[in-house]
Structures are given as structure tokens and as C-alpha cells.
Amino acid sequence: MSERQLADGLRRPRGRPRKTALERDDGNRRRALLRAAARLFQRQGFDATSTRDIASAVGMQSGSPFYHFASKQALLFAVMEQGMHDAIAQQARVIERVRDASATEQLHALVRNHFNVLLGPRSDFIPVMLYEIRSISPAQRRLLAAMTLAYESAWDPVLHRLHDQGRLRADVRVARLLIFGALNWSVQWYSARRPAGRARLTLDELADEALQLFIAPECAMEN
């Protein structure tokens, strides 16, 4: 090896090569397609949404989504998978933040975060999975089921603590299934207003109400 080749090798950055401007643009376009598809699938339904609709929403030609995804169904699965990846990561940050809190505070944080996943800003991804799960293949459903179990079973430690305290009286596994069933159903009704024209519940208020439904108050356990 010549001195020039050796010097060039020493100057060359190590590790993963930097992405080109084209590669970065492709990544940005893919993310934009996922966001637009999630929003349209959630509002219009999978069957009623065309790839032309999705491409138009991000300023692309009608055939451009197929550069990134093999089919509309592949795009649907990517929306669901991305939603679960984001939800798992977001929940992990919440769990770490309340690691030293009481069991009640931990459950409240988990419930409040789940409402944000379902109903908060840019929350189209998981509702799409809840609505359209039958539109993907059995193999894809199995992959999402494994991700869903990882997300939901992270609640088990705090539910066991509450069960040991006598504040959660149902079997922990059954309680978890019932809790998620109730929380997930909120995507069907949350946009409805309260009776007599009262303002809609905030997500904080919704989390407070849910906690009163799921666990007994501490004062009740003392009596």
C-alpha cells in the first residue's frame, strides 16, 4: 500500500457511511407516506382509500407509493407496524420516568399514555390497526400480535402490585384484557360530547375517570 493510499484510508470516516441526500429524501418521503396513509385509512377506511389519494396527500404522482411499498396492503401493514414500534418506545419512556412512583401513579401514567397513543396528536396509527386488522395477512397479524403482547404485558408488574394490595381484585391477566378492551373502545366514542352540551373530557380527565373504574381507592381498602 502506498503512502497516499494509507493516508486516504486514515482520512476515510469509519462506521456506517453517511446517507446521501437522495437516501435521506427517500426516508422522508416514506415517513410522509406512512403519516398520510394512517390519517386517510383512519378517516376513510382502507377499502375507500386509494393509493392516488395517499400520493396526492403528500404531493406525489399516483404511482410513487409503489416505489416504497409493494402494494396498498403492504402500506397498511407498514402503518400498523410503525404504530406499534412507536407505541412501545413511547411507553418504555413513560415506564422509566415513573419507575420509582407508587403503583397507582404508575397505572395512571400508563393509562394516560395509552390514551395519547389512541387519541392524541398524530394518533391515527393504532386506531387503524384496531379497525383494519382483518385486512392484512395471517402472518402479518401474528407479527402484530407479538408486538401487542409485548406492549400490553409491560403493564403486568404494576397490576400485580395493585392486586397484592387488594386494590385490583380480578385475576391480573383477565384484568389486563378487560382494561385494554375498555381503553381501546374509546376510539369509537371519544369524539362524542358530554350530555347537555358540556365540553368534551380532556385526556387527563379521561385517565382520572378510568382509574376510578379499574381500581379501588385507597380509602376504601382501609374501611
Query: Helices 103-119 and 203-214: crossing angle, nearest 10°?
Result: 130
Q: Which residue has the cell 400498523?
A: 80
Q: What is the mean pLDDT of the chain?
A: 86
Q: How many domains does the chain have?
A: 1
Q: What percent of the chain has pLDDT above 90?
A: 71
CB atoms within 10 A of CB 23: 11
Predicted confidence band at 15 (pLDDT cuts at 50, 70, 90)? low
pLDDT at 212: 94
| Cα 74 from Cα 69, distance rounded (Å) | 6
| Cα 42 from Cα 128, distance rounded (Å) | 5
| Cα 170 from Cα 18, distance rounded (Å) | 53
pLDDT at 200: 77
pTM of the model as a whole: 0.82
Q: Which residue has the cell 389519494?
A: 53
- The closest alpha carbon to 165, from 125, 106, 209, belongs to 106
What would the pLDDT profile of 38-68 be if each residue is shown by its tens digit? 999 999 999 999 999 999 999 988 888 888 8
pLDDT at 63: 85
CATH number at residue 102: 1.10.357.10
Query: Mean pLDDT highest for which of 8-12, 63-67, 144-148, 218-222?
Result: 144-148
pLDDT at 65: 84
What are the contacts of 17-22 at 24+ separation with CB within 8 A?
none
Query: Helices 72-97 and 103-119: crossing angle, nearest 10°?
Result: 150
Check whether 197 has a pLDDT greater than 80: no
User: Domain range for residue 162?
Assistant: 3-222
Predicted confidence band at 182 (pLDDT cuts at 50, 70, 90)? very high
- The closest alpha carbon to 144, from 156, 159, 129, belongs to 129
pLDDT at 222: 46
The alpha carbons of the chain give a radius of gyration, in whole angstroms, of 23
